[in-house]
Amino acid sequence: MASDFYGEILAPSGAYKYFINGDWKESASGKSVAIVNPSTRQTAYNVQACTQAEVNEMFEISRSSQKQWAQTPLWKRAELLKKAATLLREHALPIASCLVTEIAKPSRDSMTEVIRSADLLDYTAEEGVRVLGQGKILNSDSFPGNGRNKLCLVSKVALGVVLAIPPFNYPVNLAVSKIGPALMAGNVVVLKPPTQGVVAGLHMAQCFHKAGFPKGVLNVITGKGSEIGDFLTTHPSVNCISFTGGDTGISISKKAGMVPLQMELGGKDVCIVCEDANLDLAAKHIVKGGFSYSGQRCTAVKLVLVHDKVADELVSKIVPQVQKLSVGMPENDCDITPVISETSANFIQGLVLDAKEKGAKFLTEFKREGNLLWPTLLDHVTPAMRLAWEEPFGPVLPIVRVQTVEQAIEHCNKNNIALQGCVFTQDINRAIMISDAMETGTVQINAAPARGPDHFPFQGFRDSGIGSQGITNSLEMMVKTKSTVINLEAESYAMG
Ligand code: G3P
């Protein structure tokens, strides 16, 4: 039974409503979309299959609400964000249990995601007041041939309507990382939650609603990507798109037109292990980085490139740790839980079979029950294998042995996806040089790749993204520069 706090988001039909103009509503389509629990492959929830007409209505309301919202003082916006953060903490459990059911995220990690999201909103409120509260004045006489008779007031103004599309693996945290900065900057948001994770997203939106945000400032549309996907991302009312997900983002960016884009797509994050590395440290980070949330993180370690001299020793440290990982259901907080869908499980299995056919050595056996895949470690992987290049987004970790670090860097830079990477060495000078040479958005030295802490810049190169995230960068990205030039009549009253 939904708590009173969340009661209004569920329709008598049993399907969750969508959120428009401060109201929870059922779609005129009368249709719903079934949300399947990846662990049971049974329908767990139903949400509204919204129509293109409802999308139009939502954008219309968003546009008109934005004018008023942009006039709301920064301190007031910050106050409301903090209120939403407090409600997220107070009502976290139902959201976390949705994550367990919808995306098979282990229960402890699910709760962590919600609390992390509340922290992100608090930080955004404080940082937003600082960053967005600043403007600057330029004087005309610093440019040759100009007198002191022009003053340029440079301010930051909202973009307008931001379309936020978070991924299934962080439907709450990577929603607030878009919504928080967008609202703080005076934009309004149309949120299109991922299909898997949509109900957690709707519960999160209720926290913003109950926090007292004005009607129409945050709206949530649900439905089939095939019916409203392109209609949303190419809609003329969109002033900015912030998307996190797979290579769908590439087609969105191609169709989006003249709007700022914040795109964070996949990663084939390499882990380079030098011959002087602390192998215990490397092994610990490789296992945690490679298998947390069953490898379904864009920052997961997805390829180990280890110097041949230390490969055997590294492998001997990794294998027992992988064998200790618990495999099972998210509600039991297992380390490895079912992957998001049958399609994903099939894709991952395809990559493993390709490696098997081409002679990879299995350090742990590949086993599958439905969407549940046992953690698989493969050694002697070669560039001829798809696993050396493609992102499994699952509990599969390939190891490539290299003769030189240069060879490892070359492999890293050859891939079109270039989000993050890491290097293990005890020589900091060398680490910095290697980081310089690796063409990825971030390089972690002596730790596994990670997006957080959430005020750090986070960006992908090449096909891994456009723009940069991280709270401050997202705030900066959600505004545009406005110049007001005061042309003074008189030159000056310089005395004497
Ligand atoms: O999209 C980023 C996400 O997949 C990884 O985030 O915090 O697990 O490194 P994180």
Q: Are 196 and 339 in contact (CB under 8 A)?
A: no
**Which ligand 1 atom is at minimum distance from the Cα of 449?**
9
* Mean pLDDT across the chain: 96
- Decide if pLDDT at 2 tops 70: no
Q: What is the DSSP string of 224-293?
A: -IIIIIHHHHT-TT--EEEEESSTHHHHHHHH--SS-EEEE-----EEEE-TTS-HHHHHHHHHHHHHGG
Identify the band that residue 3 occupies on the pLDDT scale cut at 50, 70 and 90. Answer: low
Composition of the chain by helix, strand, coil, percent to 5: 40, 20, 35
* Residue nearest ligand 1's atom 10 by CA: 451
Of the candidates 194, 181, 231, the residue with the CA atom closest to the CA atom of residue 474: 181
For residues 69 and 74, give the distance between their C-alpha atoms in angstroms, rounded to a whole number. Answer: 10
Token digits of residue 263? 């795109």
Q: What is the pTM of this model?
A: 0.96
- Of 4-8, 10-14, 127-131, 321-325, the least confident: 4-8
Using one digit for the tens of pLDDT, what is the confidence trace for 230-282? 999 999 999 999 999 999 999 999 999 899 999 999 999 999 999 999 999 99
Annotated catalytic residue, options 54, 127, 264, 391: 264
Domain boundaries in the chain?
2-265+464-481, 270-445
Using one digit for the tens of pLDDT, what is the confidence trace for 112-121? 999 999 999 9
pLDDT at 384: 98
The yes-or-no answer to whether 2-265+464-481 and 270-445 have a common fold is: no
For residues 93 and 114, give the distance between their C-alpha atoms in angstroms, rounded to a whole number. Answer: 9
Residue 299 alpha carbon to ligand 1 centre in Å = 5
Residue 135 alpha carbon to ligand 1 centre in Å = 32
CATH number of 270-445: 3.40.309.10
pLDDT at 256: 93
Residues with CB under 6 A from ligand 1: 169-170, 174, 244, 264, 297-299, 450-452
User: Where do we find the tokens 């919808």?
Assistant: 102
Best residue among 451, 454, 468 to mutate for probing ligand 1's pocket (most ligand atoms within 8 Å of CB) is: 451
**Section 157-177 average pLDDT:** 98
pLDDT at 1: 44
Of the candidates 201, 157, 196, the residue with the CA atom closest to the CA atom of residue 175: 201
Identify the band that residue 489 occupies on the pLDDT scale cut at 50, 70 and 90. Answer: confident
Using one digit for the tens of pLDDT, what is the confidence trace for 418-450? 999 999 999 999 999 999 999 999 999 999 999
* 264 is annotated as an active-site residue: yes
Using one digit for the tens of pLDDT, what is the confidence trace for 378-413? 999 999 999 999 999 999 999 999 999 999 999 999
CATH number 3.40.50.300 is the correct assignment for the domain at 2-265+464-481: no
pLDDT at 379: 98
**Strand, coil or helix: 445:** strand
pLDDT at 491: 56
